[in-house]
Amino acid sequence: MAHKPGIFIKIRMIVTLIYLLLLLLVLCVLTIIVAALSFGKLSTFLTHWIGYFMGRTTLAVAGVRLNIIYHGEKPEGPAIYLINHSSTLDLFIIISLFLPGIRYIAKKELAYNPFFWILTRLSGQIMINRKDSRGTIQQLKAANEYIRKNSLSLFFAPEGTRSETGKIGSFKSGAFHTAVELGYPIVPIYLEGAYELCPGKSLITYPGTVNVHFHHPIDTSDWDKSQIRKHIEEVRNKYLKWNEL
What pLDDT, in 10s, does the model give residues 197-220?
Answer: 999 999 999 999 999 999 999 999
What does each C-alpha distance from 115 to 56, 172, 206 come to in angstroms? 18, 27, 25
Which residues lie closer than 8 Å to 210 by C-beta, 6 or more apart?
Answer: 64, 65, 66, 67, 89, 93, 191, 192, 193, 194, 197
- Compute φ and ψ for 91, nearest 5 degrees: -55, -45
pLDDT given at position 41: 81
> pTM of the predicted model, to two decimals?
0.89
CATH of domain 7-244: 3.40.1130
Please tell me the distance from the alpha carbon of residue 229 to that of residue 245, in angstroms, as a whole number.
25
> Is 35 within 8 Å of 122 (Cβ atoms)?
yes
What pLDDT, in 10s, does the model give residues 12-44?
Answer: 999 999 999 999 999 999 989 988 888 778 888
Given a cut of 80, is residue 2 above it in pLDDT?
no
What does each C-alpha distance from 230 to 29, 126, 177, 219 come to in angstroms? 45, 26, 12, 15
Better-scored residue on pLDDT, 146 or 232: 232
> Is 130 within 8 Å of 158 (Cβ atoms)?
no
Relative to beta strand 186-192, strand 80-83 is: parallel
Relative to beta strand 102-107, strand 126-128 is: parallel
Please tell me the distance from the alpha carbon of residue 38 to that of residue 78, in angstroms, as a whole number.
24
pLDDT given at position 46: 84
pLDDT given at position 185: 96
pLDDT given at position 88: 95
* C-alpha R_g of the chain: 18
> Is 17 within 8 Å of 204 (Cβ atoms)?
no
Please tell me the distance from the alpha carbon of residue 74 to that of residue 182, in angstroms, as a whole number.
20
Which residues lie closer than 8 Å to 122 by C-beta, 6 or more apart?
Answer: 31, 32, 35, 40, 43, 46
What pLDDT, in 10s, does the model give residues 115-173?
Answer: 777 887 777 788 777 666 666 667 777 788 889 988 999 999 999 889 999 999 999 99
What pLDDT, in 10s, does the model give residues 48-107?
Answer: 898 899 999 999 999 999 999 999 887 788 999 999 999 999 999 999 998 988 998 777
Q: Which helix (H) or strand (E) holds 45?
A: helix 43-45
pLDDT given at position 132: 66
